[in-house]
Amino acid sequence: MKRILVGIKRVVDYNVRIRVKPDNTGVVTDGVKLSINPFDEIALEEALRLKERGAADEVVVVSIGPADVQAQLRTALAMGADRALLVATDAPVEPLDAAKLLLKLVEREQPFLVLLGKQAIDDDNNQTGQMLAALWDRPQATFASKVEIAGDALRVTREVDAGLETVEVDLPAVVTTDLRLNEPRYVKLPEIIKAKKKPLETLDPAALGVAPRERVKALRYEAPAVRSRGVRVKDVAELVAQLESRGLI
């Protein structure tokens, strides 16, 4: 069975205006729209396309989070994933422990490819894929904007600071997705109904032999500094005068 494992993290939807709690203990998440991390949606879309092209037989999605992350996993199943795994925990899980849990699932599921988002838009850590690849002792191809199967290897175009880089990695491997890899499909209503019958297995982190712990303490959340109010100019002449008076030209 040629299997792809895809990570799905639930995050505050990217359209939500983030507010820091008045007591500085976190950001407001009550009553706020929660969605699949956009990069993970891209990872799932890529896995589905690889399956549709015949490069994979099965797409398994996995999430680590509270029991109600089931909702996002059902969405992933409706998009086309074959089955879902939920590692249920209410405690926040740091990237290192997420990677350790994913490694356990990799050992169980034996995927030839693990596709993860390059970062989650809540913590913006950009770590889990690289950590999993290290623990698994397999290649990593991060920030992917194009993925092609080349025999037993994968040819990946990466978005790096200087432009585009192409790497070839032997399989199995970990790939993390960038925004321009693809545009995820929309879920159709009949698929949502069908997805209710797809298998979703709940797992306990302890049973997987990993006890997530807090290594990095979150001490205080603050709103970012706001820029002081700017000026409006009425035309280009005024703009040039402003730039001149500030010594910018």
Ligand X SMILES: Cc1cc2nc3c(=O)[nH]c(=O)nc-3n(C[C@H](O)[C@H](O)[C@H](O)COP(=O)(O)OP(=O)(O)OC[C@H]3O[C@@H](n4cnc5c(N)ncnc54)[C@H](O)[C@@H]3O)c2cc1C
Q: Does 96 bind another protein (CB under 8 A)?
A: yes
Long-range contacts for 12-17 (Cβ within 8 Å, ≥24 apart)? Answer: 12/121, 12/122, 14/38, 14/121
Most distant pair of Cα atoms in the chain: their distance: 69
Q: Does 239 bind ligand X (CB under 6 A)?
A: no
Site for ligand X in 29-58 (CB under 6 A): 38
Q: Least separation, in Å, of the C-beta of 81 and another protein?
A: 24
C-alpha distances (whole Å) from 137 to each of 4, 64, 131, 132 are 18, 22, 10, 8
Q: Does 139 bind ligand X (CB under 6 A)?
A: no
Query: Which residue number, 107 or 238, has a Cβ lying nearer to another protein?
Result: 238
Which of the choices ligand X, another protein, none does residue 29 contact, using the CB cut-off of 5 to 8 A by kind? none
Which of the choices another protein, ligand X, none does residue 27 contact, using the CB cut-off of 5 to 8 A by kind? another protein
How far is the C-alpha of 92 from the C-alpha of 73, rounded, in Å?
Answer: 18
- Candidates 16, 88, 121, 149: give the one binding ligand X (CB under 6 A): 121
Q: Does 7 bind ligand X (CB under 6 A)?
A: no
Q: Which is nearest to 20 in space by CA: 220, 219, 229? A: 220
Measured on CA atoms in the order 107, 208, 6, 37, is the torsion positive or negative?
A: negative
Q: Least separation, in Å, of the C-beta of 37 and ligand X?
A: 8
- Candidates 83, 104, 126, 187: give the one binding another protein (CB under 8 A): 126
Say if residues 10 and 34 touch (Cβ distance below 8 Å).
yes
> Contact residues for ligand X (CB under 6 A)?
14, 38, 121
